[in-house]
Structure formats: structure tokens, C-alpha cells
Structure 1
Amino acid sequence: MNPHSDTLTTSDGRNALRMERRLAHPPEEVWSAITDPAQLGRWFPSEVTVELRPGGAMTFTMPGVSDVAMTGTVTDAEEPRLFAFTWGEDHLRWEITPDGDGSLLTLVHTFGDRFGGASFASGWHLCLTALSQLLDGEPPAVERDTGELHEAYLEQFDLGRGVVQDTPDGRQIRFERQLVRPAGTVWAELTSGDEPAVGGPAPAGFTAQEVPGGPVTEVRPPSVLAYRWHPEGTVRWELGVGTGHGARLVLTQTCPQGCDTDAALDAWHDRIEQLAARLLAD
């Protein structure tokens, strides 16, 4: 199962994660494993009920995670080649084609949150490994990703880059990145035990080489820190809810006229990747 064959594409605000796996089993066996709730529950990330027909209702329940079941609708059910359904706002399409004495299984997961792409890919990678084990007659036994697989997909899909945006208040640099540790752990790494206060200096962890620190203007541990790096410019770090692995970082820097946005983009990219590497090592 080679993750380098997996792709992530974006069009009209929607993202399509495509993953192909060759399975040493005929399409009929694969079909049963991806549509029978008893088998689904052994490798899929939730317990599922399904009315196996186009328009049929589905529910997705994660025991111990939420008491509220998510719902979906079957969009395609063509035994033994195509099973597709909605899951909340996402769409999953499973296509099975004969491949010698086995099958080629293609998953296309369509979703809105581009920066969750590495989380989805690493999660499906483990699920598909468990599916293969189940088909081989083995008890599915896949260790949880501690972050390495997520970070490999994030690099492969180039999800760590920032952008320069034009806003009513001027130009702004923006980074959004999924991290692999919770907000409290990230905050501790950024502050190094030196808790910031409004009016005081921004801790070095929140600064970058091309962006000097300045007085803190807002602080709400472990979620928000903002400071003024220039008389007309601010930096803001926000750590919010992410996609399974940890906190979602959104970093913005307002850029007054004359600001070197290219240098700032490079500096922040380096700083965030250093942070991500430290979190992974810890």
C-alpha cells in the first residue's frame, strides 16, 4: 500500500482525496467487506447501519466519542463494483474493479476542509490496511498514527504553505496548518513556560526571523496570542479544533505598505515547520 500513489486535488472549493489499493481478493469478497455492517465495523472508523440501495439511509456512530450519530444517504449501490454515500457534508465513493485474481479498490473522499486532507489520508491509510488484514482472514490490528504518517501526507500534499491575501485593511499573510498535538501541548512548546501577558513582550516562540516580537495585545491560553510587530502591523496565533490529530493553527500577519511578504512567508513557513517537528519529536 504505497501512500505516494494517493492524491489530493481541489476544485470549486471542494477537495477530492483519491486512494487506490490492490487487494488479493475478488470483487465479491471486497464488496461484502465494504457494505456488510458487521464487517464494516471491524475496519471502518465508525459503526454503520445502511439500507443498501440508492437513497437508502445510513448512520455513523463512534462509541465513546459522541452520543449523536451522524447521518448519510446511499448515492450508488451497484454490486459488486460501486458503493457511494454521503457522510455529513462529505461524499465517499468506493469503486471495485477486477485486477487479475484480485481487485483494485479506489476510494474518492470529497470534502470541504482542505487543511484536513492529511488527517483524512492518514486515517484512511490505516483503515485500508485493516480492511486488507480482514480480507486476509487476520484480526485487524493497526497501530494508531502518532503523527509521522500525517506529516508525510501533509508534505506530499503541500498543505503547509501560506498565502498573501488582500483585505479591506491591507495585505495579510495567512497560514492554516493541522498540527499533531493538542492546543495545550502546542501552547507549552510556544511559551517555553514563560506565560505571556497583555502589554508584555511576545515570547520568542511566537515570532519569526523576519518578524520581530512586540507588545502582546491579546492572550487567551491555550488558544490565542496576538502582538504588534510594527506600528501598523499585528501577528495573531489561533489554536482551534482540528481534524483528529490535534489543534488547527491559523496564523495571520498584517503587512503595512512596504512589507516584504515573500520574506515573511518563508520565515513563517520555517518557523511553523520547526514547531511541527518539535511536536512530532515530543
Structure 2
Amino acid sequence: MLATIQKQQNSYVVKFNRPLSHSVDAVWAVLTENEKLQKWMNNLEIIDLRRNGKIHFNMNDGTDTYKEIAITDYAEKEVLEFDWGTDTVRFELSSTSSGSILVLLESIGALTEHTPKDLAGWHICLDLLSDLLNGTIHEEFPMEEWQKWFVEYKQLVDNLEKI
């Protein structure tokens, strides 16, 4: 399902809504335990899991280079929010009668030519997260699938900019 984008006063909020047939505990584990996290988002590594803690964004280019990312909000098994460049990414998790719902909110200061690429990337990462929960591990990032979603998100962003 395509994310939604809402214009705020001076920014945009992108919302990915993913109902999952897995418990909050299981989903929280793939969000916060490095061994599982890196199977769907191999650039991220939790260093200090708490509010004002840190995450490393590993360049994965063989140089051991990383960027440090601040965790800006945290509530165990409920919220994980961190800086994403000049923007923020927030995961919200809650129980449902059939499992849980995972909401990813990205607050974006300005739409750029990179925005649809980033959104397609998050879309694919959430698909990989869901697949991991269902027992499927992808050895490589599915670029063909990303390209398909990039076209969709480019159109969504282009339409928003026309308003």
C-alpha cells in the first residue's frame, strides 16, 4: 500500500501504515535487535537504545565509515524516533486483535528530487521487514521492486507539488 503525504505548515508528513499478523514483541524485535534489524535495513545498527541514544548508519562501503544518528524519542515496544538527515523517522507500534500495526512517519522539511527515492526505499524496507517476520530473508535489496515503487512515489510527490 502506497504511503500518504500530508502538507503541514512548513513541512510534510509521510505515513506508511502496515498491519502485521505478528505480536508487538516480534515486531519490536525486528526494529531494535541488530541481528534482525540488519536483515531488512542493513545500514542501521542500534548503539544505545533509549531516548537521546544513538544509531549508526553504516555506509557499508568497506571503510567502516558511519554517520551517527540521534534517537529523539523512545518508548519500549511503542515508539522509536530518530533523526534522518534534516528530517525525522518515527516508528509507532500498537497491538490489534490480529497482531499489530506498525506506522512509519517521516517528517520532511522540504520535498526534493531525492524524496521519492527515499520513500520508495522505506516502502521496500517495510516489505523486507514484513517478509522477515514471515520467515523470508532477502539476500539482496530488490532493485526492480524499488524502481516500481520509485515511479509511484515520484508521481505522488509531483502531484503534491502541483497543489
State TM-score, norm by structure 1.
0.51
Which residue number in structure 2 is paired with residue 39 of structure 1?
A: 36
Alpha carbons of structure 1 residues 89 and 25: separation in structure 2 relative to 1, 3 Å: same
SS where residue 116 of structure 2 aligns? helix
Which residue number in structure 1 is paired with residue 143 of structure 2?
A: 144
Name the structure, 1 or 2, with higher relative contact order (CA <8 Å, separation 6+). 2
Shift of 1:45: 5.2
User: In the alignment, residue 143 of structure 2 is paired with which amino acid?
Assistant: R
SS where residue 101 of structure 2 aligns? strand
SS where residue 43 of structure 1 aligns? coil
1:81-120 alignment, distance < 5 Å: 81-115=78-112, 116-120=114-118
CA contact under 8 A between 1:133 and 1:139: conserved in structure 2? yes
Give the whole-Å Cα distance in 1 for the aligned partners of 2:50 and 2:61: 29
Which residue number in structure 2 is paired with residue 22 of structure 1?
A: 19
CA contact under 8 A between 1:55 and 1:74: conserved in structure 2? yes
The percent identity for this pair of structures is 26
Larger of the two Rg values belongs to structure: 1
Shift of 1:90: 2.0
Alpha carbons of structure 1 residues 113 and 61: separation in structure 2 relative to 1, 3 Å: farther
SS where residue 114 of structure 1 aligns? coil
Alpha carbons of structure 1 residues 134 and 110: separation in structure 2 relative to 1, 3 Å: same
Q: 1:129 aligns with which of 127, 130, 151?
A: 127
Q: Any idea what the Cα deviations from partners look like across 1:144-202, whole Å, max 9, x if unmatched?
A: 14633211122233358569xxxxxxxxxxxxxxxxxxxxxxxxxxxxxxxxxxxxxxx
Where do 5+ consecutive residues of structure 1 fail to align?
164-282
Give the whole-Å Cα distance in 2 for the aligned partners of 1:162 and 1:125: 23
Number of positions where the alignment pairs a residue of Structure 1 with one of Structure 2:
160
CA contact under 8 A between 1:95 and 1:107: conserved in structure 2? yes
CA contact under 8 A between 2:92 and 2:102: conserved in structure 1? yes
User: Within the alignment, does 1:157 sit opposite 2:154 as a pair?
Assistant: no
1:1-282 alignment, distance < 5 Å: 2-3=1-2, 6-44=3-41, 46-64=43-61, 68-115=65-112, 116-140=114-138, 143-145=142-144, 147-159=147-159
Moved over 4 A (4+): 159-163
SS where residue 143 of structure 2 aligns? coil
User: In the alignment, residue 68 of structure 2 is paired with which amino acid?
Assistant: T
User: In the alignment, residue 135 of structure 2 is paired with which amino acid?
Assistant: G
SS where residue 7 of structure 2 aligns? strand
Shift of 1:71: 1.5
